[in-house]
Amino acid sequence: AKEKGRNCIQFFSADMNARAYEELLMSKALRDALDQEQFVLHYQPSVCLDTFKIVGVEALVRWEHPEQGLVPPSTFIPLAERNGLIGELGRWVFREACRQAVAWRDQGLPSLRMAVNVSARQFGQRHLITELSREIDSSGMLASDLHIEITESMMMENPDRARRTLEAVARMGVDIAVDDFGTGHSSLSYLKDFPIHYLKVDRSFVMGLPEDQDALAIVRAIVAMAKNLKLKVIAEGVETARQRDLLAEMGCDEAQGYFFSRPRRAADIAQLLKENRPL
Ligand code: C2E
Ligand code: CA
Ligand code: CA
Ligand code: CA
């Protein structure tokens, strides 16, 4: 048996490179994490640029790894996309976000919008709509309090199918936001053909404000276009008061960013909502 074990190890090191092996270990860990519910959602407030009060939050998933601590999504979402666990993870995120939104409502806190990120592979899954409506129904969440965030490239990959999916989502009463807007190298025609409600200006443009003249021109153009198309605009990655003021002046509707709040645990958000003061 010992002999066989050694052969097995040789087989592995010969045929799989270190990277693939690492990926396999990580996949296994992610599988266990799902079974053991090692995930947690943090929530980043989105504020109205007239009142600076919280009008919504974006749910951002973290992995509470028993040894490594809080692992950011950039490391495990792409992995979950590759190994197919994204469907299950995405479902957990929907369920937890809805559960939390209802819990805040039941605590008598001011109602707010809950935005959930949907990944590319999850968006392409046939049962997305069924699952979404099931989670809404079983949680008692108001569909109109829920948003999904998708990216331009997700719509461009298979535009006909994307349009049908988004129409079904919109029919449920769930609003749709285009995330990381302006980074997708895509045609803008989908903006009139698809049921879209919000554009989220990517952080890479906001970051350049106010000095970078190109960034300034791009953000202005996005806000102007959104107004004409009757879409709302959310700026992401706002880190300074100067950026906040400039965006408000441009007519941007809402903003998110470290200047107002980093993503926080549910209990901290509840506290902010209770205080209900401008950020
Ligand atoms: P995103 O959807 O663009 O989310 C915004 C990211 O920017 C978050 O990183 C947030 O913490 C960060 N951020 C917010 N404000 C600021 C700021 O002022 N300055 C800077 N430097 N960063 C800021 P996070 O939480 O690490 O998430 C990274 C990405 O992972 C997200 O980008 C999203 O694409 C993905 N993601 C997060 N949660 C989920 C999820 O539940 N499902 C899916 N499919 N993807 C998720
Ligand atoms: Ca997002
Ligand atoms: Ca974004
Ligand atoms: Ca972004």
Low pLDDT (below 70) residues in the chain: 1-16
The three-state DSSP-derived secondary structure of the chain is CHHHHHHHHHHHHHHCCHHHHHHHHHHHHHHHHHHCCCEEEEEEEEEECCCCCEEEEEEEEEEEECCCEEECHHHHHHHHHHHCCHHHHHHHHHHHHHHHHHHHHHCCCCCCEEEEECCHHHHHCCCHHHHHHHHHHHHCCCHHHEEEEEEHHHHHHCHHHHHHHHHHHHHHCCEEEEEEECCCCCCCCHHHHCCCCEEEECHHHHCCCCCCHHHHHHHHHHHHHHHHCCCEEEECCCCCHHHHHHHHHHCCCEECCCCCCCCECHHHHHHHHHHCCCC
pLDDT score recorded for residue 81: 95
Q: Is 66 in the pocket of ligand 1 (CB under 6 A)?
A: no
pLDDT of residue 189: 84
Q: How does strand 69-71 pair with strand 232-235?
A: unpaired
d(CA 172, CA 93): 18
In short, whether 73's Cβ falls inside 6 Å of ligand 1 is: yes
Token code pair at residue 15:
């045929």
Q: Is the CB of 60 under 6 A from ligand 1?
A: yes
The residue nearest atom 33 of ligand 1, judged by CA position, is 117
Ligand 1 centre to CA of 60 (Å) is: 6
Nearest alpha carbon, ligand 1 atom 44: 119
Digit-coded pLDDT (tens) for 93-143: 999 999 999 999 999 999 899 999 999 999 999 899 999 999 999 999 999
Expressed in angstroms and rounded, the spacing between residue 131 Cα and the centre of ligand 1 is 23
Cβ of 184 closer than 6 Å to ligand 1, yes or no, is no
Beta bridge partners of 30: none
Q: Is residue 185 within 8 Å of residue 206, measured between CB atoms? A: no
Q: Look at strands 39-48 and 54-65 and give their pairing.
A: antiparallel
- Ligand 2 center from residue 12 Cα (angstroms): 38
Q: Which atom of ligand 1 is nearest to the CA of 122?
A: 44
Residue nearest to atom 45 of ligand 1 (CA): 117
Identify the pLDDT of residue 11.
58
Q: So what's the pLDDT on residue 14?
A: 58
